[in-house]
Chains A and B, each alone.
Chain A
Amino acid sequence: MRLNTKYHNEVEIKEEEILHFEKGIPGFPEETKFVVLPLSEDGSFSVMQSVATSELAFVIASPFGFFRSYDFKLEDSVVEEIELKSENDVVVYSILTVEDPFDKTTANLQAPVIINKANNKAKQVILIEEGYKTKHSLFGKTELHKVKG
């Protein structure tokens, strides 16, 4: 199907590329379908584009390249909701809040997007772990410390 997008003009997507967020994402409860479209040539940045709303798109990145010690445990409720059977099926993205200047851009490590690539069910999960926040500087030298809140 043809899809009008925010940053990629019109693109052709396949039904099997569509991610299903059964309950939408926080702030956008009606937005249940997204596709991931590549953005940067090096593959480190992508866009999570709404299928229903062409003007709605988020810049995302895999967090592990930027935050080496990033680590969390998925709650059982999440594992059940997206029917995760194997750790190998998990894909994790962080939603970025892109700033001007670009080096002020932050990543939301508190609420990663978790995708089950076996069935394309996905959820933006809010971590209970203390220490991860909605704004972690992507290019800063800030170390991740887990601190008790």
Chain B
Amino acid sequence: MLVLTRKNGETIKIGDDIEITIVSSKNDQVKIGIKAPKTIEILRKEVYEQIQEENQQASKDISGLLVNLKSRK
């Protein structure tokens, strides 16, 4: 992993069309501004991992509970 040191207000450029700016940093928190093409999805990694985990749980077998669902009118 490439590690760069930046100060508040300074920017990193990734390729031609992505810019990451350190908006502010205080104690152990950094506020980051991201400029990227709108086709690029930007997510907090822990949120993505949580969705992966929930999809795993949601895919478990529920055959035993199907009667509850099918009979709903």
One of B6-14, B20-28, B48-56 contacting the partner: B48-56
Cβ contact within 8 Å between A77 and B65: no
Q: How far is the CB of A67 from chain B (nearest CB, A)?
A: 16
Residues of A contacting B: mostly: loop
With beta carbons under 8 angstroms apart, the residue of B43, B57, B64, B70 that contacts A40 is B70
**Does B5 reach chain A (CB closer than 8 Å)?**
no
Cβ contact within 8 Å between A95 and B58: yes
Residues of B contacting A: mostly: helix
Q: How far is the CB of B21 from chain A (nearest CB, A)?
A: 18
Q: How far is the CB of B60 from chain A (nearest CB, A)?
A: 8
Cβ contact within 8 Å between B51 and A110: yes
Cβ contact within 8 Å between A7 and B48: no
**Does A80 reach chain B (CB closer than 8 Å)?**
yes
Q: Which residues of chain A in 64-86 are interfacial with respect to chain B, using CB atoms and an 8 Å cutoff?
A: 75-77, 80-81
Cβ contact within 8 Å between B66 and A27: no
Instruction: Count residues on chain A whose CB falls below 8 Å from chain B CBs.
Output: 35
Instruction: Count residues on chain B whose CB falls below 8 Å from chain A CBs.
Output: 29
CA distance A41 to B69 in the complex (A): 8
Q: A58-B59, A111-B55 are in contact. List 16 more A-B contacts (CB 8 A).
A: A6-B61, A39-B70, A40-B72, A40-B73, A41-B72, A42-B72, A45-B69, A56-B59, A75-B41, A77-B39, A80-B39, A81-B39, A96-B58, A97-B58, A100-B64, A102-B65
Chain A interfacial positions (CB closer than 8 Å to B): 6-7, 25-28, 39-42, 44-45, 56-59, 75-77, 80-81, 95-98, 100, 102, 108, 110-111, 124, 126, 128, 134-135
Chain B interfacial positions (CB closer than 8 Å to A): 38-41, 43, 47-48, 50-59, 61-66, 68-73
The 5 closest A-B pairs by CB, nearest first: A27-B52, A134-B54, A27-B55, A76-B38, A98-B62
